């Protein structure tokens, strides 16, 4: 099962991706998370990428595809994987198709999380994340059990540096101009499943479970 999660910033790709991983037993590859980890570790590539993502701009295609190629070639991806935040441009989608063809594999399905635009800003501005284990919370819709601390590892929660009003605006424009064309791209290829992602995380996951089963989740 090779699944692509599409949707604007704050649509819930990471939240639903975590549920999919638990249910389907395949790894989730989040390019945003990889960049944040590399920047936190102070690697040259991570610091270069931070110049882009901290402003809300997409990281150049050539930087992203090299990382993804390396990650999907790992042994834990043999049974399948979930791509969260990749591809994000038509060029990345074309390169992904070529990489997979070289491995005699192909995408099983693409889930597009569709959310009311006002909700996106509310979700992003209230998000808090754990810098240690990447768990995600929300001040009102998913607060941690102990205020300001991760339920899993106890670490102090932080606000992502790109979750500020200016970067959020840029991310939404980047999505509309560079990523949204992928909806038509994958629809033409018969791979797109549109998900109404306005409900609660559990309601959304209940709605997408049947699609996951037809795509081979758990098999």
- Structure-block tokens of residue 207: 């709605």
Residue (56 or 80) nearer to ligand AP5, CB: 56
Q: Considering beta carbons, is residue 108 or 119 the nearer one to ligand AP5?
A: 119
Annotated active-site residue 178? The verdict is no
**Which residues are at the interface with ligand AP5 (CB under 6 A)?**
7, 9-15, 30-32, 35, 52-53, 56-59, 64, 85-86, 88, 92, 123-124, 126-127, 136-138, 141-142, 162, 171, 200-201, 204
Catalytic residue among 28, 88, 123, 128: 88
Catalytic residue among 13, 36, 123, 128: 13
Smaller CB distance to ligand AP5: residue 106 or 169?
169
Cα(135)–Cα(14) distance, integer angstroms: 9
Helix (H, G, I), strand (E, B) or coil at 206: helix
Q: How far is the CB of 27 from ligand AP5 (least distance, A)?
A: 16
Annotated active-site residue 128? The verdict is no
Burial of 150 (0-12, 13-18, 19+ CB in 10 A): buried
Bridge partners of 29? 83
Measure Cα distances from 134 to 15, 117, 128, 159, 188 in Å: 11, 24, 10, 12, 34
Residue 171 annotated in active site: yes
Cβ proximity to ligand AP5: between 52 and 191 the closer is: 52
Can you tell me the distance from the alpha carbon of 218 to that of 23, in angstroms, rounded to the nearest whole number? 7
Closest residue to bound ligand AP5 by CB: 32
Catalytic residue among 19, 105, 160, 178: 160
Task: Return d(Cα 127, Cα 136) in angstroms, integer.
Answer: 7
Mapped onto helix, strand or coil, the DSSP state of residue 162 is: coil
Active site residue 194: no
What is the nearest approach in angstroms of ligand AP5 to the Cβ of residue 219?
A: 26
Smaller CB distance to ligand AP5: residue 111 or 123?
Answer: 123
Q: State whether the Cα torsion 108-29-138-88 is positive or negative.
A: negative
Question: By the 8 A CB rule, do 115 and 7 touch?
Answer: yes
Quote the least distance from Cβ 187 to ligand AP5, whole Å. Answer: 20
Q: Does 71 qualify as catalytic in the annotation? A: no
Structure tokens, 173: 């424009």
The catalytic residues are 13, 88, 127, 160, 171
């Amino acid at each position: 099962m090779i699944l692509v999660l599409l949707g604007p910033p704050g649509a819930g790709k990471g939240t639903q991706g975590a549920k999919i991983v638990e249910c389907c037993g395949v790894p989730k590859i989040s390019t945003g998370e990889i960049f944040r980890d590399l920047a936190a570790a102070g690697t040259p590539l991570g610091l270069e990428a931070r110049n882009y993502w901290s402003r809300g701009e997409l990281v150049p295609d050539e930087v992203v595809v090299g990382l993804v190629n390396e990650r999907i070639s790992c042994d834990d991806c043999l049974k399948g994987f979930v791509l969260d935040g990749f591809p994000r441009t038509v060029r990345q989608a074309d390169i992904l198709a070529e990489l997979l063809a070289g491995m005699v594999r192909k995408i099983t399905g693409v889930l597009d999380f569709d959310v009311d635009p006002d909700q996106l800003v509310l979700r992003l501005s209230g998000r808090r994340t754990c810098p240690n284990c990447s768990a995600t919370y929300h001040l009102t819709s998913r607060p941690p059990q102990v205020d300001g601390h991760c339920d899993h590892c106890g670490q102090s929660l932080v606000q992502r540096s790109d979750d500020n009003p200016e970067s959020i605006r840029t991310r939404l424009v980047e999505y509309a101009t560079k990523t949204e064309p992928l909806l038509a791209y994958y629809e033409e290829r018969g791979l797109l499943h549109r998900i109404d992602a306005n409900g609660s995380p559990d309601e959304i996951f209940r709605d997408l479970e049947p699609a996951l089963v037809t795509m081979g989740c758990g098999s």
